[in-house]
Amino acid sequence: MVAWLRKPSLAGAVGVVLVATLGAGMSPAWAKRSSAPARVESKLGFGPASSLEGNYLSAYIAGTARDTAAAAMFYREALKEDPRNPELLERAFVALLADGDLAGATNAAERIVKRDPQNGLAQLSLAVRAIRAKQYVTARSLLVRNGRGRAADLTATLLTAWAFAGSREGRRALDTADQLRGERGFSAFRDYHAGLIAALLGDNAEAERRLKAAYESEKTTLRIVDAYGRLLSKRGDRDGALAVYSGFDALSPRHPMVKAAMEQLRAGKTLPPLIANAQEGAAEVLYGLGSAGSQQGDELASIVYLRLALQLQPDHSLAILTLGEVYERLKRTEQALAILKGIPETSPLRASADVQIGISLEQLGRGEEAVQHLEKLGKQRPDDNDVLVALGNVYRSRKQYAQAAEIYGKAIERTAADDAGLWPLYYYRGTAYERAKDWPKAEADLKKALELVPDTQPMGKSQVLNYLGYSWVDQNINLDEAFKMLRRAVELNPRDGMIIDSLGWAYYRFGRWDDAVRELEKAAELKAGDPVINDHLGDAYWRVGRKLEAKFQWQHAKDAHPEPEDLAKIEEKLKNGLPEEPKPAEVQTSVPPGEEKSGG
């Protein structure tokens, strides 16, 4: 997803509350009496603890582990035993809200605001309930008290604007939205919602002016593209709408919502508006903030915003999909799986959700079920390459590389030569061939992927450059060209630990031990716990004489579950170290372009 707003503080108002309530901050004095918490499992195959203290501390641990389902269950039980404890009530409220128990959360919110009328999150929850019930005056009064700070002001301002729109007070709605000033991100968000409000209330000229401004500012943001394209379709500008969607498709190919819109336009249909009522508009505000939190790593804040969005619009497919993605990132795959199943069958995103369900089954260790699920989808949708790619990915995850390469090959055969989605297929097949020890085929596919990947997709280009360059380095061939590729990959993607590891390993192959240590330390910091990076850093430490640190890194690599063939090599190094440093004549004599050799 493309994040609406890119400043970490935008979701901060909710994030601060969540940190304080789901596993950080002070513990109530009564909770400290317990000698040991109840054990929290990864699945809810257990009941509550037998004491108030046990339930509280188990909830605390579950919150720290980001297990919102377990946290909600334990807090719910603790609250039954101590319903008047204000700190416990607030923690339970946020846990229930994050887990989707909106009735329980709302009940807790009502009790909280009686004690603390300035509690922003409780006020927001009650305002959302009021908007859902079309009680717009009540919603606006609650939003006025909804805390302070940039995130709170942004949320309250736009929800208030939609509450005015619900009351059919168009001028006041637009004036309220226009209170958002300053940052470029705010401007796009403001114009987007102002345009949606104007369109809902029938002011087509204002709607087009606002949505066009938002589109000119954010042409790569899906929701703005979709809203503007639908507006152009409604006023009969089919070609203009197609141009808007086509521009997005060129940068981010094959998005199912864009694909569905273009198919309808080419069939002569008029697209319905993005927003049908004030409730959906308010849900869009909350979805946008939830999406931003997701992109910025603010997972718990994202979950709360998305849960509130779904309270207003339960079939908001993007909110459901984003919520599932957040749970995937938190390693709560069972919860993610259940959430993804909630995407409506009529949604263009349903096909993507079905594919993700197959991937989730594999992640849960249910590989055979994943294969059966994806094969069934393939029969139902024989022309859907995404299903084939997902099936190939599952085979590759299960280390059935030959089968994976065969599946990717079928997808390549069905893809047009000018299709923007062709290069990833060659890349996937190339990596499968490489893992299957068929290097000639792997090298050909990786070169083809590099030829096809456009400069407009720098992350994709960096991945292909990295895989091909690293493979050459690992085989001690084409080192000059490999080094150029890896330096370019780092330029394109400077925060990717695996790519920096590749560059460090190239320095190692050149015999430049100090430079290798520098880059490999960066890689280990960016991607801690990766066995390959730890192994490489151990080798580099050994060559510069830091032998204790080398063994420490090798032990880390061993403990991080490396590939079996690598494990044997690591164990040998832990026992005997590396062989003597190569004599100067044996060290790679080529020098990285533009540099003088400093090591070896």
Q: Return per-residue pLDDT of the chain as tens, 600 residues.
A: 233 322 223 333 333 333 333 333 323 333 333 333 333 343 445 567 667 777 778 777 877 777 778 878 888 887 887 777 888 888 888 888 888 888 889 999 999 999 988 888 999 999 999 999 999 999 999 998 654 545 558 899 999 999 999 999 999 999 999 998 766 668 888 999 999 999 999 999 999 999 999 999 999 999 999 999 999 999 999 999 999 999 999 888 789 999 999 999 999 999 999 999 999 999 999 999 999 887 776 788 899 999 999 999 999 999 999 999 999 888 889 889 999 999 999 999 998 899 999 999 998 989 899 999 999 999 998 888 889 999 999 999 999 999 999 999 999 999 989 888 899 999 999 999 999 999 999 999 999 999 999 998 999 999 999 999 999 998 989 989 999 999 999 999 999 999 999 999 999 988 999 999 999 999 999 998 899 999 999 999 999 999 999 999 999 999 999 989 899 999 999 999 999 876 433 444 444 544 433 332
Helix (H, G, I), strand (E, B), or coil: what is residue 117?
Answer: coil
Amino acid sitting at position 417: A
Assigned architecture for domain 470-600? Alpha Horseshoe (1.25)
Q: How many CB atoms lie within 10 A of CB 464?
A: 26
Q: Which of 215, 235, 237 is nearest to 226 (CA)?
A: 215
47, 53, 59, 62 alpha-carbon torsion, rounded to 10°:
-90
Burial pattern 300-314, b for ≥16 Cβ within 10 A else e, equals bbbbbbbbbbbbbbe
SS3 42: coil
Please give the full DSSP string across 535-561, using - where no structure is assigned.
Answer: HHHHHHHHHTT-HHHHHHHHHHHHHT-
Residue 431 is given by DSSP the state H
From CA 107, how far away is CA 99, in angstroms rounded?
15
CB 499 within 8 A of CB 482: no
Asked if 124 and 144 count as a contact pair (C-beta separation under 8 A), the reply is: no
Please determine, looking at this structure, whether the domain spanning 8-28+85-266 carries the CATH number 1.25.40.10: yes
State the span(s) of the chain assigned CATH 1.25.40.10: 8-28+85-266, 470-600
- Asked if 471 contacts 432 with a C-beta cutoff of 8 angstroms, the reply is no
pTM over 0.75: no
